[in-house]
Amino acid sequence: MTVTVRFAPSPTGKLHVGNVRAALWNWLFARQSGGKFILRIDDTDRERSTKAYEDLIRTDLAWLGLFDDDSVRQSARFDQYDAAVEKLKSLGLLYACYETSEELDRKRKLQRARSLPPVYDRAGLAYSQDQIEQFEAEGRKPHWRFKLSHKPIEWNDLIRGHTVVDTVSVSDPVLIREDGQYLYTLPSCVDDMELKITHVIRGEDHVTNTAVQIELIRALKGEPPAFAHHSLLIGADGHGLSKRFGALSIEAMRDDGLEAAAITSHLAKLGTSDPVVPESDLDRLAEGFDFAKMGRAPARFDMAELEAINARLLHETDYESVSDRLDALGVSKPLWDVVRGNILRLDEAAEWRDVVEGEINPDIEDAAFLKQAAELVPDDPLTGESWAQFTSALKEKTGVKGKNLFMPLRIALTGRARGPEMALLFPLIGSVKARSRLAGDKS
C-alpha cells in the first residue's frame, strides 16, 4: 500500500496557520512514509471560489516547500459525483426534502425548547405524492439528504484512539443543496475513494463528519481511509483563531518578512511533545513525525514565539543559504556574519548595511569626549583587535570607563544603543568613517 494523503483547501480565502498546519502534517507523514501528497482544490462552491485564491494557495504551499505529487480540482469531477448520486438513490439512501431554511430553523428551536437534540426528523421520508406535487407547485426545489444508519460508527483514530460516534444523534447530512450545488461531504468521499486516499489527517472539529463519511464510503462500496484528528489551534489568549484574521494568513506572514522555515518549524511541533526548534530541512522534520507525540489539548499559537523561532533560524543561517536575497539587499557576507545574530527579519540586515555604509544622525551628548576619541582611531585596515586597542587608548587618555565609555562610542558610530559587537562592526565601518562620525559629521 502506498500511503496517500490529501490537503483539500477551498479557494474562497487565504491560507492561514490553522489549515497550513494540517497541510504540513499531511505532507510530513507522506514524505516520511515514501507516499504521495495530493492537493485537492475544493471549488464546488462556484459563487465564492476564485482562481485568484487558488493561485495564492499554490503560491503559499510552494513558498513553504510543500510541493504536491498530484493535484485535482473538484469542479472538473462533477460526472463522478453525479454517478455516486444515482447509486445512492438506487439504494434508497438519498432522499428529497423540501423544507425551507426558516422551517428547519423553527423545527430546531422547538426541539431545543423540549430539551431534545436538534436532529432532523426525517420528514422528507414521509412525504405523500400530493405533498410533493404541492411543494413543486409552490416552486420549491428539494435538497437531498443521505440516510444514516442510526448505528454507532467506530474507528481507531491514529491520534484520539478508539472513537465512537452514534449517528442517531446526527442529522442526516445534506449532500446537495436546493440549487443543485454539492456540499463538502459527497465530493470528498468520492474523491477519497477514487484517489485511493489511505489516510486523512485533519482537525478534531471533523470527528462527527468522519462518522458520516465512513457510512457514505461504505454505502458506495468503498473502504474508508485511516483517520487522524489533531487538536485545533487557539491564540495565546486562549481564544480560537479565526481564518479571517488577516495577520495569521501565510501571505501576511510572508509579506511581514517571516521565513518559511520558521513557520514550518513552529507548526510541525506545535501540539506535540517535541520542543520547537529551528529546522530549515523539511525532510528532517519528516523524520521526527509521529502520531504518538501528538496531544489532545488545544495547541496555543503565539506570534511572539514564531518570531523568536524566526530570529533563531536567522542567527543560524549561513550566507550561502540566503545569498541571493542578501545580494538583492546589498548585504555582503562579512556584514551578514556580523549582524545576523541581532535581527528578527532578514531585511533588517539592510538597515545595518545603511548603518555601516550610509549616513547616520546620532544623538551626541559629549562632543568633546568624542573628538578626543576621533583622534585615537587607528588607521585602516581595522581588525578584530582594533576596537580593544582603540578603547583602551581612549580610557587611558580620558579616564572614562565602562558604560560611560562604550555607550557614547556605540551611539556616535552606529546611531543605535544596541546591536552587534562593536569589535566586529568597527572594521566594517572603517577608520575614515569612524573618525568623521566621532568628530560630529553624519557620514
Judgement on whether residues 85 and 166 belong to the same structural domain of the protein: yes
Q: Is residue 119 included in any domain, yes or no?
A: yes
Of the three residues 357, 379, 413, the one that is the final residue of a domain is 357
Judgement on whether residues 140 and 277 belong to the same structural domain of the protein: no
Judgement on whether residues 298 and 243 belong to the same structural domain of the protein: yes
pLDDT < 70: residue spans in the chain: 242-247, 442-443
What's the pTM value of the predicted model, to 2 decimals? 0.92
Judgement on whether residues 93 and 36 belong to the same structural domain of the protein: no
Domain that holds residue 343: 319-357
Q: Is residue 259 included in any domain, yes or no?
A: yes
Judgement on whether residues 103 and 138 belong to the same structural domain of the protein: yes
Rounded CA-CA distance 396/221 in Å is 89
Of the three residues 315, 346, 380, the one that is the final residue of a domain is 315
Residues whose CB is less than 8 angstroms from the CB of residue 73 and which lie 6 or more positions away in sequence, other chains included:
40, 41, 43, 54
Judgement on whether residues 119 and 132 belong to the same structural domain of the protein: yes
Judgement on whether residues 98 and 171 belong to the same structural domain of the protein: yes
Judgement on whether residues 143 and 202 belong to the same structural domain of the protein: no
Q: What is the pLDDT of residues 68-97, one digit of tens each?
A: 999 999 999 999 999 999 999 999 999 999
Q: What is the pLDDT of residue 242?
A: 65
Q: Is residue 377 included in any domain, yes or no?
A: yes
Strand partners, 199: 226
Q: Is residue 443 included in any domain, yes or no?
A: no
CATH code of the domain containing 246: 1.10.1160.10
Q: What is the pLDDT of residues 259-288, one digit of tens each?
A: 999 999 999 999 999 999 999 999 999 999
Q: Is residue 38 included in any domain, yes or no?
A: yes
Judgement on whether residues 196 and 336 belong to the same structural domain of the protein: no
Quick one: cell of 76?
472538473
Residues whose CB is less than 8 angstroms from the CB of residue 346 and which lie 6 or more positions away in sequence, other chains included:
257, 259, 314, 322, 325, 326, 329
Q: What is the pLDDT of residue 442?
A: 62
Judgement on whether residues 66 and 187 belong to the same structural domain of the protein: yes
CATH code of the domain containing 194: 3.40.50.620
Q: What is the pLDDT of residue 244?
A: 47
Q: What is the pLDDT of residue 440?
A: 85
Task: Say if residues 287 and 281 touch (Cβ distance below 8 Å).
Answer: no
Q: Is residue 388 included in any domain, yes or no?
A: yes
Judgement on whether residues 267 and 399 belong to the same structural domain of the protein: no
Q: Is residue 251 included in any domain, yes or no?
A: yes
Judgement on whether residues 241 and 226 belong to the same structural domain of the protein: no
Q: Is residue 75 included in any domain, yes or no?
A: no
Q: How far apart are the first and last CA of the chain?
A: 67
Strand partners, 153: 165
Q: How many domains does the chain have?
A: 5
